[in-house]
Amino acid sequence: MTVETKLNQFREISEKISAYSLALTTLNWDSSTIAPKKGASYRNKMAALLSGELFSIATSSEFVALIDDLSTETLDEVTTREIKQIKKNLDKNRFIPKEVYVEYAQLTRDAENVWETARDQQDYESFKPYLKKLIEMTKTVVSYRKDKRPVYEQLIDDFETGITIADYDVFFKKLKEEIVPFLHKIIDRKIEQPEWLCRNISIEKQRKVVEILMEYLNYDKSSGYIGESAHPFSSHFSVHDNRVTVRYHKDMFTSSIFALIHEVGHATYNGQVDEAYQGRAIADSMTYGMHESQSRLYENMLGRSHSFWSSIYPKVQAVVSELHDVTLDEFIQGINHVALSLIRIEADELTYPLHIMVRYEIEQALFNGTLDVEGLDNVWSDKYEEYLGIRPPHNGLGILQDIHWSGGAFGYFPTYALGSAYSAQWMGAMRKDIDVEKCLENNDFKSVNDWLKNNVHRHGGVYEPNELLLSVTGETFNPQYYVDYLIEKYSRLFIVSE
Q: Say if CB 264 and CB 244 are below 8 A apart.
A: yes
Contacts of 123 (CB under 8 A, 6+ apart): 117, 395
Q: How far is the CB of 263 from Zn ion (least distance, A)?
A: 7
Q: What are residue 236's DSSP bridge partners? A: 242
Of 291 and 489, the one with the shorter C-beta distance to Zn ion is: 291
Shortest Cβ distance from residue 212 to Zn ion (Å)? 22
User: Quick one: 221 exposed, middle or buried, by C-beta within 10 A (0-12, 13-18, 19+)?
Assistant: exposed
- Give the separation between CA 326 and CA 329, rounded to whole angstroms: 8
Name the catalytic one among 153, 263, 361, 363: 263
Residue 12 Cβ vs Zn ion, minimum distance, rounded to whole Å: 33
x/- letters, 115..134, toward Zn ion (CB under 5 A)? --------------------
CB nearer to Zn ion: give 295 or 395.
295
What binding mask, one character per residue, do residues 254-293 give for Zn ion by CB under 5 A, x or -?
----------------------------------------
Residue 379 and residue 346 in contact, taking contact as beta carbons nearer than 8 Å: no
Alpha carbon distance 291, 19 (integer Å): 23
Q: How far is the CB of 231 from Zn ion (least distance, A)?
A: 11
For the bound state, the minimum distance from the C-beta of residue 236 to Zn ion, rounded and expressed in Å, comes to 12
DSSP string, 315-358: HHHHH-GGGTT--HHHHHHHHT-----S-GGG--TTTHHHHHHH
- Tell which one of 287, 295, 341, 415 touches Zn ion (CB under 5 A): 295
Beta carbons within 8 Å of 456's beta carbon, 6+ residues apart: 269, 294, 426, 468, 472
Q: Which residue, among 88, 64, 63, 86, has the nearest Cα to 146 in the 3D structure? A: 88
Q: Specify whether 116 is catalytic.
A: no
The least distance separating Zn ion from the CB of residue 355, rounded to whole angstroms, comes to: 15
Q: Which residue number, 18 or 295, has a Cβ lying nearer to Zn ion? A: 295
Closest residue to Zn ion, Cβ-based? 295
CA–CA gap between residue 199 and residue 255 (Å, rounded)? 12
| Nearer residue to Zn ion within complex by CB, 232 or 392 | 232
Q: How many residues bind Zn ion (CB under 5 A)?
A: 1
Residue 370 C-beta: closest distance to Zn ion, Å: 31
Question: Concatenated DSSP letters for 298-323?
Answer: IIIIITTSHHHHHTTHHHHHHH-GGG
Residue among 295 and 415 whose Cβ is closer to Zn ion: 295
Contact between 398 and 377 under an 8 Å Cβ cutoff? The reply is yes
Q: Which residues pair with 242 in a beta bridge?
A: 224, 236
Question: Which residue lies nearer to Zn ion by CB, 115 or 288?
Answer: 288
CB 410 within 8 A of CB 152: yes
Nearest residue (CB) to Zn ion, 270 versus 295: 295
Question: Footprint of Zn ion on this chain (CB under 5 A)?
Answer: 295
Catalytic residues, by residue number, are 263
